[in-house]
Amino acid sequence: MDAPGTALVVDHDKSRVLALAELVKGLGFEPVIHTTALGAREFLHSRPELDVILCEFDMEGLTWDATRRSVPELDHQIPIVLISDEARAESIMRALRWGASDFFVRPLDDIEALERSLERCRRQRQVRRELERSRKRLEAANTELRGTIKVLEQDQQAGRQVQMRMLPSTPMVLDDYVFSHTVIPSLYLSGDFTDYFTVGDRHVTFLMADVSGHGSSSAFATVLLKNLFARKRSDLLRKNDDAIYSPVAMLKQANLELMDLEVGKFATMVVGVVDTQENTLRYSVAGHLPQPVLVSHEGARYLRGEGSAVGIMADAHYEEHLIDLPDSFMLALFSDGILEILPPKNLIEKENYFIRVFEETADSPEELVTRLGLDRVETAPDDIAALFISKRD
């Protein structure tokens, strides 16, 4: 059974207000009686939990024009039923225009009609109360969500700072060789990563990795790759383990460690080793697009290579290529985010456009970055990482 409703009964005539209150009580409502307009108004200011107001239309001390302006200020939205001794059409129409829910004329002979009207008012108030509770729950949930988002943003920003510190110094100059990079994340954290570092007196190992997905989990995978290459560099000195010189060996190790991580992440990669004494490049490609581009006086060309992405299958196969580098060259590696901002629509046209940019702009990485529009990209649709290796004779 529904809980009894509450009705404010207002009439300056005490006998009438008591009789109406008794009638209302018999219809399942708890009456609250007021015999002055001022008292009723002060009562409403306390924001009571009312279901309906029953008020004398010709109430002493009550000006309905003023009430029409002041009642909405209380923001109660309580249904009002007006009662009068006369059934004047003008009065009824005016009451309805003021927002009254119903209008009754004494004597109140049709009790069933009054009961239906009061029940309708009670249901209306129940719906409004539920809507208000829902609104407050949503506001509380939104406040909590905003707080959670703020914490996540702070965490992402902190993680981004850590990730940026993981990147190598740019540029790194070794005699005639210059190594540089840029990373533009689509979110705070990036799944794209690049690194390069000296190994011994004459070699530089570098990598470009594009981890699947975005955000924290992809960034964690880049931390794993950074740690792997740092460990293998250290193992050369501590254990005489020369895997750091072999792009294929590093890709195989990265493949196993990503699979052991069991977070559903895989990465396309390019790993290379530059011999600065012999001016040679040993490299392997693991499903990476676009493939590395070598630019020299002879023009621009892709360095082809086959191999599946790391982190997908345990028995993945990778090829290793050894090439002599020109006396003067620029080698550029990009993550596939660069393809998202190129004008052509399909992949083949994008690759053709990409290589033409290199053929037309081969003087420096800075000019290439400008030509590709990377210096104007603030938020990319996908992470973009770029690694440049240059040598001038």
Inter-residue contact 183 to 212 (CB < 8 Å): no
Q: Are 294 and 331 in contact (CB under 8 A)?
A: yes
Q: Which two tokens stand for residue 173?
A: 């100059």
pLDDT at 2: 57
CATH code at 5-136: 3.40.50.2300
Grouping H, G, I as helix, E, B as strand and the rest as coil, residue 88 is: coil
Residues (pLDDT < 50) of the chain are 1, 73-75
User: What confidence tens digit (pLDDT) does each residue in 243-255 have?
Assistant: 999 999 999 999 9
Q: What's residue 358's pLDDT?
A: 87
In one letter, which amino acid is 240?
A: N
Q: Which pLDDT does position 69 carry in this prediction?
A: 52
Q: Which two tokens stand for residue 149?
A: 């988002």
Query: What is the CATH topology of the domain spanning 167-391?
Result: Phosphatase 2c; domain 1 (3.60.40)
Contact 64, 19 (CB under 8 A): no
Which H, E and C letters describe 267-304, residue by residue? EEEEEEEEECCCCEEEEEEECCCCCCEEEECCEEEECC
Q: Where are the alpha helices (DSSP H) in the chain?
A: 14-26, 37-45, 64-74, 89-97, 111-166, 215-238, 247-261, 337-340, 347-360, 365-372
| Structural domain spans, the chain | 5-136, 167-391
What does each C-alpha distance from 45 to 48, 74, 95, 367 come to in angstroms?
8, 7, 22, 71
d(CA 197, CA 229): 10
